[in-house]
Structure 1
Amino acid sequence: MVQIRDTEGLTRAAARGNLDEVRRILEEYRLHPDTVNRFGRTALQVMMMGNSGVARLLLEKGANPNLQDEGGIAPIHDAARSGFVDTLRVLVEYGASVNVADRYGALPIHLAIREGHHEAVEFLAPLSDLRHANASGQTPVDVARVYHQPDMIRLLFDHIRS
């Protein structure tokens, strides 16, 4: 039987970005990577988003890239909000949907635009539903306007037209 300390150790190691410790815990305790900690969160949901190696390992071991928390946040939302393009690439490679909405209707691209992560927007734009409106009725172009991102507006229009 898996003890709480084992699942806590996995999520702690993932949150710190400690690839070797994540690997050791998964193998030693034979945990499924979607095992939740006492807060109901998986290692992929709490991982250090800038560590694409941890993401790849968890996904290789069977983590669900589209698992959402109670707020509708999936790991791809966190990676987009933080601007970690390498992690976005890994998540998409393993089946993460770029068109999953959080409880506010925001797609990952909405969050990347809001935070000013141009490279993340460049990656997400050709894959995203650019006509999708969040709960406030804003499409990605609208969000770019609100946050005064003229380069992103042009980029988005180029993808809408193509």
Structure 2
Amino acid sequence: MEALVEVCEPAEVRIEFALNCKCRATVRIRSLTQTTPVAFKIQTSSPNKFLVNPPSGLIQPLSSATFQVILKPQSHLPHSYPRSPSDRFLVKTAEFCANSSCSTHPESINSWFASRPYGFKTLDIKLKVAFVGPILLNDAVTRGDLDAVRNLIKRQRSMLAELSPTQAETLLGAATKLLNPDDMVHLLLEAGLRIIPNPNNAPDQVHVADTNTNINEGEEIFEASRNGHVAEVESLLRRCGGSVKYRDQYGLTAVHAAAFKGHKDVLMVLSELSDLDLECEDREGHVPLHMAVESGDVGTVKVLVEKGVNLNAVNKRGATPLYMAKIWGYDDICQLLVSRGALYSLTSTSG
């Protein structure tokens, strides 16, 4: 029998972990039926550890519903992460055939499941649990666990870029204290860890403003680009005449921000209405194509490729976009770049 529902991305219960407080994850499920409502009921292998709200419900045809998984406060880090092999969820589903007077309240749906005759079949979806978050990333780096670090970053691609300067320095410091730090440091930097240079060693100012662009307006364009607000970006660009000189503390432009977040529509607007260079470098030598690869979105990469950017640009550690795509296992991006003549090469400057 075909599935009645599908789990929207991410197809797992992904929880940002923190110590001694409740942690939540929202899971969205979508009905695949065209005429019949679908009843669902959520079960977990760890009822003493998790709460589910609502634990059951009804999805109308071709509609969706959400439920929230709540991790009770934990005093210790998970024994295993990102994936937690001992924690699992089961989404039980069935076509809801009941008279019109039957309530759709979660308790009523739960009773409906309980009242089904012996041998009644449900279509079930298994969901695994993944713990993510900065506290786990710091622990994995400190332990030198490259696989855990790589898998954490894959699940939260923006995590490194969103760390505060102090957090970023602490993380890099933990990596450099390892017995063999090169691989870990390289992984963190390639994944987007940004370290603000000492002002005494970098007299040039990162935040740039000139007579053509108000710095606040440039920052607004940057934030709107990062958040994927296409209409706002277009409006701001038309207001300032397309001249944008703003960079953040890491040397990132609005093009970098949109590429990193996978906002291909914003990229199109920026390329058409602004004077921003599609091949500009941040302080680590990353061009927007590097950032688009990090986003994992092949459509975003394709926008820049179609604009004719240099496919073989290298950052300060010698990594090309194709090298980064291979490191992260983005096969569709690799295929696109190779088909357009990109080279796989790395001349590491570490060590």
Larger relative CO (CA 8 A, sep 6+): 1 or 2?
1
| Alpha-carbon separation, structure 1, partners of 2:248 and 2:346 | 34
Residue-by-residue CA offset, 1:22-60 (whole Å, 9 max, x unaligned) = 000000122424x22353432101125321110111111
- Whether 1:59 aligns to 2:275 is no
Q: Structure 1 residue 133: deviation in Å?
A: 2.9
> Which residue number in structure 2 is paired with residue 76 of structure 1?
289
Amino acid at match of 2:279: N
Which structure 2 segments of 5+ residues have no match?
Answer: 1-210
Task: Please say if 1:11 is aligned against 2:214.
Answer: no
Mapped pair 1:112 → 2:322: no
Q: Which position in structure 2 is the counterpart of 1:42? A: 253
CA distance in 2, matches of 1:122, 1:77: 15
Distance 1:79 1:95 in 2: 14
More helix by share: 1
CA RMSD of aligned residues (A): 1.9
CA distance, structure 1, for counterparts of residue 248 and residue 257 of structure 2: 12
- Of 115, 128, 134, the residue aligned with 2:342 is 128
Residue 30 of structure 1 pairs with residue 244 of structure 2? no
SS in structure 2 opposite 1:113?
Answer: helix
Residue correspondences, number: 135
The one-letter code sitting in structure 2 at the alignment partner of 1:3 is N
Q: Which residue of 2 aligns with 1:150?
A: none
Tell me, yes or no, if the aligned pair for 1:99 and 1:129 is still in contact at 8 Å: yes
- 1:69-115 deviations in Å (ceiling 9; x for gaps): 11110110011122111111110111211100011110001111111
**Consecutive unaligned residues in structure 1, runs of 5 or more:** 137-162
Q: Which moved further from structure 2: 37-46 or 78-87?
A: 37-46
| TM-score, with structure 2 as normaliser | 0.36
Output the CA distance in 2 between the equivalents of 1:68 and 1:124: 20
Of all paired residues, the percent bearing the same amino acid is 26
Which has the larger share of strand?
2
8 A contact 2:256–2:288 mirrored in 1:
yes
Q: Using the alignment, how far apart are the partners of 2:290 and 2:252 within structure 1?
A: 15
Letter of the structure 1 residue corresponding to residue 309 of structure 2:
A
Q: Match for 1:85 among 272, 287, 298?
A: 298
Offset of residue 135 of structure 1:
1.1
After the TM superposition, which of the residue ranges 82-91 and 9-18 deviates more from structure 2?
82-91
Q: Distance in 2 between matches of 1:41 and 1:82?
A: 15
Letter in 2 for 1:91: L
Deviation for aligned residue 1:121: 0.8
Task: Work out whether residues 65 and 95 of structure 1, in 8 Å CA contact, stay in contact via their aligned partners in 2.
Answer: no
Please list every run of at least 4 consecutive aligned residues from structure 1 whose deviation after the TM superposition is greater than 6 angstroms.
none
